[in-house]
Structure 1
Amino acid sequence: MYFPEFKEEEGKMVRNPFSSTLDITTIPNDVQDELLDLKNYSAAKDLYEEKSLNVFWYSMHQSYPKVSVIALRLLLPFSTTYLCESGFSTFLQIKNKSRNRLHVDPNMRCALSVTQPRIRQLDENNVSLPTDVW
């Protein structure tokens, strides 16, 4: 099982804490006050409309820690599972029959990095790259 069980109302709260159909009475009592404060905070609503769910809930962590912990606990498995699956997929592409090496660390690091390589700048500086990177 990839993802933990969670209540339907918690999922609704994470997807849209400003929804009028959200039943606050099903949320745990110690979180209800924070959620009501969040629902009535117009700057938070503006941020919710501008940013992704992950960024929104992370930015709410200082002001609304109990609500944001529930939200982040619900959102975290999706992103980490994606990163893990993409890592395995990259590994399988690198380590195939025609390219069977014991150490794939440098190639994996290059393939999974979010930093764009500056190949032209490296070429201008006459930096030699390993031939297996290409």
Structure 2
Amino acid sequence: MDPLNPESFTHKKAFVNGINLHYIDEGRDVNGVLILCHGFPDLWYGWRYQIKFLVQKGFQVLVPDLRGFGQSDAPRCPPNSFSAYSWKTIVTDLRDLMDALSIPRAIFIGHDWTTDDSSGPNSDSTGAAWSSGA
């Protein structure tokens, strides 16, 4: 894993929640599974310097390109709707990725460059941690 060479990472895709989701999969689950989530506007590559360090600490590290970003599918939305990109939809993508990989528990780590006014009409509240029940 060379942070300056994106192709040195293990790239995979999974069909989840109706889309192809691209993700990086590195390390083995010795101390747990970490799912690193990028914000807007970013890609999995924003985590490139942290991945190797976390793998060396014994974590399996999954880093998806969230829907609409990077090599993941970008579904079209009806006019004046962002339903395909709601927090609920994105969390469902991540839950389905865990299910597809038979991962029952994971620790989520995220970052973002923007602020969120979660009081708006299109907001939904969704928890950041997930245990899939798989």
Judging by fraction of residues, say which structure has more helix: 1
Question: TM-score scaled by structure 2?
Answer: 0.24
Structure of greater relative contact order (alpha carbons < 8 Å, 6+ residues apart): 2
Question: TM-score scaled by structure 1?
Answer: 0.24
